[in-house]
Chains A and B, each alone.
Chain A
Amino acid sequence: MPGTPVRAALLSIEGTNNDAELAVALRSVGARPEVVHLKQFEGRGIPRGERRHLDDFDLLLFPGGFSAGDSVRAGAILAARVRSSIGHELEEFVRSGRLVGGICNGFQTLTELGLLPGRPDGRLGPPTAALLANDSGHYECRPTFLRWDGGNFRPFAELPPGWVFLAPSGHAEGRIHLGNGETARTLEARGQILFRWVGPDGAPSPGYPWNPNGSPGDVAGLTNPTGTVFGLMPHPERADFADQAPDWSRRRGRPVGPGPGQRFFAEIVRDAVRRRAAVPGGRAAAR
């Protein structure tokens, strides 16, 4: 890919703990990730050289973890802090068409910010959905399978429906509850279902444990109405290489090369490059 690498900000506060593997995954597809503490965006008390501006980046990702201990509700405190400090910049970022994504706790945070399922104007707002406690009542760390059935997710515009891949899940609160009269069906009609939980053979309605949290409609991830904000519960960044699969040793020979998650990130980074080329001045400002 020509040009400077895609710059991705991985937003962190205390308890954000999946930033390392997400950075590895982004690097594996040629992007330049940087873990940025929220305080570096806020600027207060931070040396000049370590301050950052959202405009410096092509891509903003909210990694998984337990931001602020998941007190109140998962992601709620991080969302409140983001809203009060860089809320306007974030809205501008979304409206500029740059991708904003959240994985696991990041998905919970984007939901708390009102960005998912979100509004057509890309503005922050009160949450219209929530990620509730798993049906099992506890944390679930297990291999899960996802299927892309087509939708508005811009990086997947060229990807035919039916892609099934394995990505591990690890969460205690991932059961999607939709408000505002929305259902999995209405979201699907608008192309806002990113992934569904399926069985190991790709079959729909797999039940527990392949749907690890009991999410209605087996919804594992969502996009916003413009297909540029996305969130998902499972962790493609932990399926970035072949040797991260739970069963690689069943095949003869060394596990080499990418895992299925790498395709996910490759499409996202390709999309960021395309957007940069399409939008005049779309390159992340060099500071």
Chain B
Amino acid sequence: MWADGVGTVPIRSASAAALRAVNERYRFGFHEGELARLRAYYRREGREPTDVELAGLAQSWSEHCSYKSSRPILRAHFGALPKLPRVLGTGDAGVMAFEPGWAYALRIESHNHPSAVEPYGGAATGIGGILRDVLAVGGQPVALADPLFFGPPETPPGEIPAGVKSPRYLRGGVVAGVRDYGNRVGVPTVSGGIYYDPAYVVNPLVNVGCVGLLPRGRLQRNRARAAGDRLVLTGGRTGRDGLGGVAFASQELTSRSEEESRGAVQLGNPILKEPLIHACLDAYDRGLVRGVKDLGGGGLASASGELVHAGGFGSEIDLDRVPRREAGLAPWEIWISESQERMLLAVRPADLDRVLGIFGKHDVPAVDIGRVVAGDRERLSFAGRPAADLSLPFRIDPPPVRRPRRAPPRPPRSPPDRGPLPESPAALLQEMLLAPDSVSREPILRMYDHEVQGRTVVKPLHGRVTSPSHGDAAVIRPRRESPRGLAVTVAAQPWSCAIDPEGGARAVVEEAARNLYAVGARPDAFSDCLNFGNPEDPVVMGQLDRVVRGLAAGARALGVAIPSGNVSLYNGGLGRGIPPTPVLLAVGIVPDVGRAVTSDLKEEGDPLYLLGATSPNLGGSLYARRRGAVGPLPPTDPAALRRWGERLLAAIRHDEVRAAHDISDGGIAVTLGEMAFGGSVGFDVDLAATGLADPARALVAEGGSRIVVEVARDGEAGFRRRFRGLPAVRLGTVGGGPGLFHVGTRPVAELDVAATYARWRGG
């Protein structure tokens, strides 16, 4: 009955042990209960499954594709957020209103496991995948971001388990992968971050975010619209790379991941992606595409199944028509291969030739592989004979898994965290600025093309061209015709989330918002990447629940939308888990990019202000991490941040602000240090203004959601009026050679700006 090359897998009368053996042999990754469900389905159907069917089912039932563990939690918290009218779409990427006639798209996702075994290819195809998500909603990619988490580069070889690659090697490979893919495809990498912790030695995290631009009329839907429409597969040829990638992503890493799963890592080709983007946009612009889906995890099986099922249809697909890179691919391999640079389009039969012509002009292969049909069956054929005949609701929608959750331990409340620190403020100032977590990211940023497309108005490095320093967010001007801009940043605080998942998540939201306010942007939308451990561990599920609750609460208080996101579970292995690591890609609206603010100090004599309430708590801070200390987190109050953040935007609009920089890792020591570096100028600051008695603690305390602002002298009176009744204190002034910290009249630490800058910058 079945086509040559299609195997049947007898499961109807198989014992549990025999089912497990099948599962192992094909590396399907079905769980025990799912195997029983499969057996029951085929008993009802009165036949045995084909290997093509089982392979497809394994994709869509995987954690990676189905969100079966996380869905109930996401629904409970994100689902309860108010519906904001500026959210235009929540498909493969979120789509937000930008300005009349225009929208922007955003999404972040993980490519953790592939990057652990093959850092270069894993990171590159991570970029490739996130570009396709934005392309699948009609967006032209205009910015990339890459928050990365590794073990400390100085980890001694003896502390790296067998089968695990060294953090230094992983970092080098990942950065090169992001560089080569992003640069070649012509999308600027404008934001990101590198975070180090021993918890990421076994399982590094490679998250990649993308922002796209689209005229509102080009918004694409990720579902089929009408029976009879043709299914056109475009882009790269299909090969054996990336087989079983989603199953690989849905289990923990082992010492044998390298040998067993290297084949699950795809091969990227940015030089095919670049014209694929052009051709898709061209076809969208002419109104020729009725539904589109990118081929990522689960390959054609996931893309075609989700595309037609979301529209309430079935499909007929001839696997033999799929262009292949090599001979001898079995039909099930064609079905689930995760070969890169492919998109699936649904087009009217009458438009088929025009669509094929557009792709031909761009030298991008495009083939009609089947059609959308009425009903809910998925019928595949190969060499003219059937290869699969399945109910799509059964295949695509596995029941959610109610996993047990255990509430995380209560965050520590006592002893009170306020005594004097043992170190001298001068030593702490140097230590915080020169820690691997703080030093200049210039060596990496210079390898990423952050200028391509000519839209980057506030670059990832701020300040004088001779002394560039860190800022809080990049600003792009998507359209030359309009002064409106998008600020793009990322935020993560795994250490805070490890202490208190919910409070830590709120702190991540606040950090993202501060980064945006600091450049003069109103926080508009977040995309969240939730990197967690094994969901079969109730503690992990408890963490996930609290983190999502915290993110939702923060977003609600700030009025920010979360139109897209990604969940990555099973991070960890070899007995090591990761801390709960929610990562935000955050986008804000800058009404006029010409008013955007950078972090570098501008002019001697300008007053410096501290916005926000200081907390003495050091939990989760860079200082506490370096001492191996765990303590209570500083309190969060996103609603209060929003109140004074809005005032800051008004002050920026009225040209009262010359520089601004948020306080995060390393406290005010790092914030003021980086501001001085960028301007090559000193400052004079009274730490008593923080309200903390101990100057050492005042230097390294991070909490309380704060921003340091340089106010224009002629704008100070207006600025003070604007902040009356809000947490804003005068810290001191810009100017002089060194950076001087004192308490009252007593000097406590001095920063030699030029000398420390040279060490911070490296080289």
Binding site for B on A (CB under 8 A): 13-18, 20-21, 24-25, 28, 37, 39-40, 45-47, 50, 65-66, 68-70, 138-143, 166, 168, 170, 200, 235, 237-238, 240-241, 243-244, 246-247, 249-250, 252-256
Contacts and interface: CB of A to CB of B under 8 A. Distances in A.
A142 B183 CA distance: 14
Contacts, number: 122
Given A141-B447, A241-B480, A18 B452 contact: yes
Q: Which secondary structure dominates chain B's binding surface? A: loop
Nearest to B598: A249
A84 B541 CA distance: 61
B183 A66 contact: yes
Contact of B468 (A16, A17, A246): A246
Interface of B: 179, 183-186, 269-272, 274-275, 357, 360-363, 445-459, 461-466, 468, 477, 480, 592-598, 600, 602, 655, 658, 679, 712
Nearest to A243: B457
Contacts of B453: 20-21
10 contacts: A15-B270, A15-B274, A17-B186, A37-B362, A69-B184, A69-B271, A143-B465, A249-B598, A254-B592, A256-B594
A255 B598 CA distance: 14
A238 B451 contact: yes
Contact of B465 (A66, A68, A200, A253): A200
For B461, B592, B594, B658, the residue with the greatest tally of chain A CB atoms inside 10 Å of its CB is B594
Contact of A139 (B183, B271, B594, B602): B183
Nearest to B477: A243
B274 A17 contact: yes
Contacts of A235: 451
| CB-based closest 6 A-B pairs | A17-B186, A21-B454, A254-B594, A69-B271, A14-B275, A249-B598
Nearest to B480: A24
B593 A141 contact: no
Nearest to B364: A14
Contact of A170 (B449, B458, B463, B465): B449
Nearest to B519: A249
Given A66-B183, A256-B594, A37 B361 contact: yes
B449 A15 contact: no
Contacts of A39: 361, 363
A13 to B, nearest CB: 7
B592 to A, nearest CB: 7
A70 B184 CA distance: 9
Given A24-B480, A249-B596, A14 B447 contact: no
For B269, B459, B465, B477, the residue with the greatest tally of chain A CB atoms inside 10 Å of its CB is B465
A244 B446 CA distance: 17
Contacts of A25: 454
A39 to B, nearest CB: 6
Nearest to A45: B360
Nearest to A261: B454
B186 A14 contact: no
Contacts of A252: 655, 658, 712
Given A16-B274, A69-B184, 19 more contacts: A14-B362, A17-B185, A28-B480, A37-B362, A66-B186, A69-B270, A69-B271, A141-B447, A141-B449, A170-B449, A244-B456, A244-B457, A246-B459, A246-B465, A249-B600, A250-B464, A250-B598, A250-B602, A254-B595
A17 B459 CA distance: 19
A40 B357 CA distance: 13
B480 A247 contact: no
Nearest to B447: A139
A53 to B, nearest CB: 17
A221 B49 CA distance: 65
Nearest to A15: B271
For B450, B451, B464, the residue with the greatest tally of chain A CB atoms inside 10 Å of its CB is B451
A141 B454 contact: no
Contacts of B658: 252
Nearest to B183: A139
Nearest to B179: A139
A244 B184 contact: no
Nearest to A166: B465
Contact of A140 (B446, B462, B464, B712): B446
A16 B185 CA distance: 9
Contact of B600 (A69, A168, A250): A250
Contacts of A143: 465
B186 A65 contact: yes
Given A249-B462, A254-B594, A244 B186 contact: no
Nearest to B465: A143
A15 B449 CA distance: 14
Contact of B448 (A15, A40, A141, A166): A141
A6 B161 CA distance: 64
B306 to A, nearest CB: 28
Contacts of B602: 250
Contacts of B449: 139, 141, 170
Contacts of B595: 254
A11 to B, nearest CB: 14
A252 B603 CA distance: 10
A18 B480 contact: no
Nearest to A24: B480
B362 A17 contact: no
Nearest to A25: B454
Nearest to A235: B451
For A15, A66, A249, the residue with the greatest tally of chain B CB atoms inside 10 Å of its CB is A249
B274 A14 contact: yes
Nearest to A67: B271
A13 B184 contact: no
Contact of A46 (B274, B361, B592, B655): B361
Contacts of B464: 247, 250
A135 B374 CA distance: 61
A200 B466 contact: yes
Nearest to A68: B271
B461 A246 contact: yes
Contacts of B446: 139-142
Given A15-B274, A66-B183, A141-B447, A247 B465 contact: yes
Contacts of B357: 47
Nearest to B272: A14
Nearest to A254: B594
A20 B477 CA distance: 14
Contacts of B457: 243-244
